[in-house]
Amino acid sequence: MGLEKITGRIAADLEGLKQFTATPGNGCTRLPFTKEARDAVNYLKDIMTEAGLEVWEDEVGNVFGILKGDEPDEPCVMMGSHYDSVKNGGDFDGIAGVVCAVEVARQLKERGVTLKRSFVAAGFCDEEGLRFGTGYFGSGAMLGKRDVEYCKKFKDADGISIYDAMVSYGLEPEKITDAKWPEGSIGSFLELHIEQGPVLDAEHTELGLVNCIVGIQRYMVTVYGRADHAGTTPMDMRLDAAEAATKVISRIPDWAREKGEGTVATTGFIRTTPGGMNIVAEKVEFTVDIRSTNNDYINDIATKIRVALEIETQKMGGSYEIENKLTITPVMLSEEMLKIMEADCLEKGFSCRYLPSGAGHDALEIGQVIPTVMLFVPSREGRSHCPVEFTKYSDFTKASVIMADLAQKLLEKE
Ligand code: GLV
Ligand code: MN
Ligand code: MN
């Protein structure tokens, strides 16, 4: 199989999927349970069917295509990523991994090898968690870790719950537990993804072998003060939610810096209510996303935030609420599968290196319970979660071949 032909197929699919965005001309905005998500799923179903896979969509909006092996009851090899995006994100984050999973299925068919196990290409729904402030919804549901209460609890910025969004998308959230795959049915999980950081591009390294993925905790914090006239209320007589909230927010980055070792903490969303220039803020809502390969560091920063909120809201005379939206521990990926890919890269003359992932992935959720591996391709200048995100199609080709080799080994395994 010529590499140019593979590159052509990957390019055609990614170009085709680019059109499914709510912000044409300003990056990819494909939030879960929207028209853009529906159109992308339909497109994926079509290319999976053309690739000769048996296709279905599950109870939470994940899309799967299966290439059946001779012994379909044996644990399958699954490869995939997510088809949703952030707001004004790039055209590669997640979706490239889904497209390459379909491409690996094509390559396996073309090789004409006898497969003992089945190969499954997966496109997961709502990995980003941006809309509801959560994360890994589709892959979590596949593992039986999401339920109806979860769907009712988490809401988007317009107050629409996951439950209601699913209903308007045509799904039946009451059936969510049917999305769970039987214990032991998935033998291994493979994810190909753009690096979303600068390391590979800066070093001109062709592929990244991901040895571990950071743990993540996400919170929505609400600080309550009192609305008053901004001009007439003396500074010592106001309950300013903005003052208390920002005093906490401004210290969070330093707490991450103190921990070091790649620990990061981000406040990406802040909203004041009523939100007027001349009104003291009655309420401030903000998010916190904390990540590290050391789970103790994450717990420590979360505790510092709670303590600071207690102190600052008491000083102000108001109150606060803090809601945990996601807690997931760091995960080590399969050394055995990484070694197979490393040897293959060496043999094929592709440069590679080991590196950790600071971004979360479906592999983070799935890797908690199933042997999992990730392969990164370079991101130009490390830019991601923005419209300029870019990776050469030919870089995906190299990664797809390495993953097809690994998948073949696993599929033939006794
Ligand atoms: C997903 O891309 C995340 O790391 O937030
Ligand atoms: Mn992603
Ligand atoms: Mn992302």
Q: What is the CATH number of the domain that holds 67?
A: 3.40.630.10
Q: Indicate which atom in ligand 1 lies nearest the CA of residue 360.
A: 4
Same domain for 264 and 182, yes or no, is: no
Domain boundary among 328, 349, 378: 328
Atom of ligand 1 nearest to the CA of 130: 5
Look up residue 142 and give its two tokens.
Answer: 């596949």
In this structure, the answer to whether residues 170 and 30 fall within a common structural domain is yes
The string of pLDDT tens digits covering residues 321-367 is: 999 999 999 999 999 999 999 999 999 999 999 999 999 999 999 99
What ligand 1 atom has the least distance to the C-alpha of 358?
4
| Sign of torsion over alpha carbons 220, 83, 359, 268 | negative
Q: Given the structure tokens 């997966």, which residue do they identify?
A: 122
Q: What is the length of the chain? A: 414
Which atom of ligand 1 lies at the shortest distance from residue 94's CA?
A: 2
- Kindly report the CA angle at 260 between 357 and 358, in degrees rounded to 5? 10
Residue of 128, 213, 325 best suited for mutating to test ligand 1, as the one with most atoms within 8 Å of CB: 128
Give yes or no for a contact between 6 and 401, defined as CB atoms under 8 angstroms apart.
yes
Q: Separation of 298 CA from ligand 2 center, angstroms?
A: 21
CB neighbour class for 112 (10 Å; exposed up to 12, middle 13-18, buried from 19): exposed
Residue 306 has pLDDT above 80, yes or no: yes
Helix (H, G, I), strand (E, B), or coil: what is residue 121?
A: strand
With a cut of 80, say whether residue 413 has pLDDT above it: no
Give the 3-state secondary structure of residue 65. strand
pLDDT of residue 1: 60
280: CATH: 3.30.70.360
The beta-strand segments (E) located in 8-49 are none
Q: Domain range spanning residue 277?
A: 215-328
Q: Which ligand is nearest to the CA of 193?
A: 2
* Mean pLDDT value across residues 297-309: 98
Same domain, 132 and 180: yes
Task: For residue 88, give the ligand nearest its CA.
Answer: 3
Are 232 and 277 in a shared domain?
Answer: yes
For residues 283 and 222, the answer to whether their CB atoms sit within 8 Å is yes
- Distance separating alpha carbons of residues 253 and 35, to the nearest angstrom: 36
**Ligand 2 centroid from CA 242, angstroms:** 32
Compute the distance from residue 347 Cα to the ligand 1 centre, in Å: 32
Which of 385, 386, 389 for mutating ligand 1's site (highest number of atoms within 8 Å of CB)? 385
**Whether residue 274 has a cis bond before it, omega within 30° of 0:** yes
Distance between Cα 400 and ligand 1 center (Å): 22
Residues lying with their CB under 5 A of ligand 2, a single-atom ion: 93-94
Could you identify the atom of ligand 1 that is nearest to the CA of residue 86? 2
Cα 128 to middle of ligand 2, angstroms = 7
Mean pLDDT of the chain: 97
The environment of the single-atom ion ligand 3, i.e. residues with CB closer than 5 A, is: 93
Does residue 253 contact residue 216 with C-beta atoms inside 8 Å? no
Which of the 8 DSSP states describes residue 383? -
Phi, psi of 89 (to 5 degrees): -90, -165
Looking at the fold, whether 318 and 334 belong to one and the same domain comes out as no
**Angle 3-18/35-50 helices, nearest 10 degrees?**
150
Query: Which of 86, 117, 138, 51 has the alpha carbon at shortest distance from 400?
Result: 51
pLDDT of residue 2: 86
Q: What is the DSSP letter of 86?
A: -
- Same domain for 117 and 69: yes
Predicted confidence (pLDDT) per residue in 76-134, tens digit? 999 999 999 999 999 999 999 999 999 999 999 999 988 999 999 999 999 999 999 99
Calpha distance 115→71 (Å, rounded): 8
What's the pTM value of the predicted model, to 2 decimals?
A: 0.93
Q: Are residues 132 and 162 in the same domain?
A: yes
311 vs 257, 258, 266, 314, CA distance in Å?
Answer: 22, 21, 21, 5
Q: Hunting for tokens 């339920």 — which residue is that?
A: 147
The H or E element that residue 346 is part of is: helix 335-348
Domain total in the chain? 2
Q: Of the bound ligands, which one is closest to the alpha carbon of residue 83?
A: 2
- Give the ligand whose atoms come closest to the C-alpha of residue 357: 1
Tell me what pLDDT residue 311 has.
98
CA of residue 85 to ligand 2 center, whole Å: 8
296, 328, 360 — which closes off a domain? 328
- Write out residues with Cβ below 6 Å of ligand 1: 128, 359-360
User: Hey, what are 302's tokens?
Assistant: 């979360």
Ligand 3 center to 277 CA (angstroms):
33
- Determine the distance separating the centroid of ligand 3 and the alpha carbon of 279, expressed in angstroms: 36
User: Percent of the chain beyond pLDDT 90?
Assistant: 98
Which of 298, 328, 358 terminates a domain? The answer is 328
State whether 51 and 195 are in the same domain. Answer: yes
Look at the alpha carbons of 111, 117, 123, 129 in this order and tell me if their dihedral is positive or negative: negative
Q: What is the pLDDT of residue 414?
A: 63
Cα(303)–Cα(226) distance, integer angstroms: 26
Mutate to test the pocket of ligand 1, among 361, 364, 365 (most ligand atoms within 8 A of CB): 361
Residues 53 and 89 in one domain: yes
Same domain, 199 and 278: no
CA dist., res. 226 & res. 240, Å (int): 7
CA 326 to chain centre: 12
- Mean pLDDT throughout 124-146? 97
Asked if residue 198 lies in contact with residue 381, where contact means CB atoms within 8 angstroms, the answer is yes
Question: Are both 144 and 133 inside the same structural domain?
Answer: yes
Same domain membership, residue 232 and residue 160: no
Give the pair of three-digit tokens for residue 179: 């999305």
